[in-house]
Every structure is written in structure tokens, then in C-alpha cells.
Structure 1
Amino acid sequence: MSVLSNIPYDIVIFALLTLVLVWRLRAVLGRRVDVEGQNLGPVPVAVRQAKPEPAQPVAEEPSAKFDIPQPATRVGQVLAEIANAQPGFKPDIFLQNAQKAFREVVTAFAMGDRAKLRTYLTPGAFAGFDAAITEREAAQQQQRTEIVGLNTLAIIDAFFTRFEGHEKARIDVQIVSRQISILNDQGGQPLVGTESVTEFSDLWQFESEAAQGQAPSSWHLAAARAA
């Protein structure tokens, strides 16, 4: 009997198959370790980037609604007379300026800013505002006013006169606003007003004057009262 006839060929074949499978498995596992380990080499790896947070929309206050009388109405005709006397006058531009003046005057009055009030008020109106501020200061009271928004500005009346070369124009504007307005005593306790947003309706009267041969003065607040 030869030596070859004693070799268990089935065991040898099984052993060879096992070696081939181990070699293949090692090759696959080796590649997997390279991807998941630190030595990445040229293997591309998808990097997950954090998505930027979307910008939060800025809450914008709705613009105030302007109410301007039609040209065929009496007030509309007076506005046309003012426009003839004051080149460049336009009711919508006037209301834009009135809106700015309202914010500035209300804030300046609450802060007791007399210098700013002088720029927007006629001398007579300033005297009334100044007296109210002086009375508040004497009582050591503090006014806190926050304009949350303006709803409407409506021209409800207008006058224009011309006498001996002197021209005077007046426009009445009803202003509806939302405010937080509180008057506190010297101890910080509220006397008048509330922390809640309250709707206010005011009637503001603006005036401008001009003498013969002179350009009309800018518009100033002549009077203000609750409407």
C-alpha cells in the first residue's frame, strides 16, 4: 500500500476550503475595520453637517391706516387750497409726518423732554405741556408710556384762511393708537393707567402760518385732546 493511499483526502479538502473562507473573511473584515477606524485613507466618508437654524421672522408692526377725505368733499377742497398755497404739500406725506410727531411728542412728554417738545409744538401748546410736566415733577410722579402701535390717522377737518397777506392753515387729525400708559406716584405705585394695552383715540390739531412773501412755516401741534 502506498503512502498516498493513506492520506485522508476529504480532511485535506475540508482544511483547504476552511483556509480559503478564513482568508476571504479576513479580507472583508479588514476593509470594514479600515472604514470604521481612524485610518480612513482614501475612503470617502459622508460628514453629517448640522442644518443652520432658520432665521426667525422679525415681527413687524402693521402700518397705520391713513384716512384722507375725497377731493370732492369740503375738507378735500380745503386740502387742495392748502396744496396751492404750499407747493409740495400732500395729505399722505402730511399724515406720515403727523405719525412721527405723535410718537415723538408722546414719548417726550412721558420723559419730560422739554427740548424735543419745543420742536413739535406751537408756543401756546408747549406752555400747556410744560405746565403738566412741572406739576408732575413737583408731585414726584413718573409717567411711563409705551406706544404699541398706531391703528389709524384720519384727517377729519381742515381750515385755510388768507387775510391781508397772512395765511394760516389748520388740519385736525384723529389718531387711534394702542398704548401702555401708567402714572406712578413717588413710591412707584400706579395712580392712573394699567399694564394692559389700551386703545386711545386722540384729536390733534396741527397749524402752519405764513406772511406775505414768506414760505409757510412747518406744521406744529397746536392742541391735543381725547377724541
Structure 2
Amino acid sequence: MTAISIVLLAMIAAFLGMRLYSVLGKRTGHEQEPVLPRRDDRAAPTPVRVDDSEAPGAPQGSAADTSGLVYEPAAEAGLRALLATDRSFDAGRFMEGAEAAYRMILEAFWAGDRDTLRDLCDQDSYDGFVEAIAAREARGERLDNRLVGIDSSKITDVELAGGEARITVRYRADISAITRDADGNMIAGSMIDARETNDLWTFRRAIGSNDPNWLLDEAESA
């Protein structure tokens, strides 16, 4: 067999291999998709998450989430119902966005950034934040807060009604909170100790909407 023949055979084998991959490597749309993924199943880690080992100043003994699940058992039925209605929904990807939104909304509120809040919140939530910002500004106060780290975040509830989905997320995080007066003097909080928070935030989105963004609908401390 000549060298040319060997090269031609190799090229044919490579071509056949690529054709097989193009068929076998594609999803047909009927395979069972992972409804409720673990965090390890996500395509890439979110830069928003800060583990305890990477968060200097985080209180010792605060337990980080080690289960790897993005949901609590009570939310499983709701998540399955949402996926049955909207096959494009991905719980892992949603939680990446939910953690990013948590940080962005908190930082925007602390800084008095109304434009960012308008993009991330529905009207009622936006109005509540703006009212609190205006009251703070009227007192001549400003916040010098910092999100030290998100210890855990999980979906706790999913509701479907009126063509809309509402997902509630529980965040356990460490926040360094400081309030200063108009002269920059600290009047409340601590520069050393981070406070552990337990928040429940609910996001909403029209099912099947072309807009992939979820808006903050409610925010409360648990």
C-alpha cells in the first residue's frame, strides 16, 4: 500500500467519524433532561458565589451549603410543573442569575442607584427601594455596606398562575453593614463583624416570554 493510499484511507476514516459524531452527539429532543440539577452540573461556576474559604472576615462556624442541590424538597413539584410548561427553563442557570441579581440589587440599593434597581425589579419592589433611599438621603445618611459572601442559596417555592411563574429563593449570606452621616462618621454598624442574613426573595417572569430576565417581585427577611 502506497503512502498516498494510507493518507486517503485515514481521511475517509476521519470523515466517517465526524459523520457519526454529528448524528450520535446531537440531542433529538426526546431525551430526559435533568430537571433538578446539582450545582456541580452547571456549565460554569458563577463568579458571584464566594465560598467560606475565600471570604475573609466571615463568621467562623457559619455552615456553608454542601448538599450541592439548588432547591429544597418542597419546591420539587413546582419545578417539575414549570419545566413541563416551559422546556427552556434551567434551574441551575436560573440560580446563577438569582445569585448575581441578589448582589447587584443589594449593591444598587446601598449606593442609591435607582437606574439599576429599575432594570432588576418590578414596579412595586422598585418603589419600595426608592422610598427607602429617599428617606435615607433626607436624613443625610449613606450606607457603606459590603456583601462578604453568599453561604447558600436555594429555591424554596415555585408558583404558576395566570401565565406567570414566581420562584422564591432563600439566601443565607454575610453582610458587613455600616451607616455613616453626612460627614462620613460611622453612626451604626461595625467595620469588623459581618452580620448573617437570611432573606427570601421572589422573582417573577411571564412563561414563554422572549425576555429571559426575571424581575424581583418581593423581598423579605426570613
- State the TM-score, normalizing by the size of structure 2: 0.65
Q: Is the 8 A contact 1:209 1:217 kept in 2?
A: no
Spell out the pairing of 1:1-227 with structure 2 (5 A cutoff). Answer: 61-62=50-51, 65=65, 67-69=69-71, 75-161=75-161, 166-195=162-191, 196-210=193-207, 215=210, 218-227=213-222
Cα 1:100/1:169, change in 2 over 3 Å: same
2:219 alignment partner AA: A
Q: Which runs of 5+ in 2 are unaligned?
A: 1-48, 53-63
Greater RCO, 1 or 2 (C-alpha within 8 Å, sep 6+): 2
Cα 1:167/1:215, change in 2 over 3 Å: farther
Q: Which runs of 5+ in 1 are unaligned?
A: 1-59
Shift of 1:193: 2.1
Over residues 7-61 of structure 1, what are the superposed CA-to-partner deviations in whole Å (9 max), with x where a residue is unaligned? xxxxxxxxxxxxxxxxxxxxxxxxxxxxxxxxxxxxxxxxxxxxxxxxxxxxx94
Cα 1:76/1:189, change in 2 over 3 Å: same
Shift of 1:108: 0.6
- Match of 1:192, SS? strand
Distance 1:191 1:86 in 2: 49
Structure holding more strand per residue: 1
Equivalence for 1:39: none
Equivalence for 1:19: none
Cα 1:216/1:113, change in 2 over 3 Å: closer
Equivalence for 1:12: none
Shift of 1:67: 3.8
Percent of aligned pairs with the same amino acid: 27
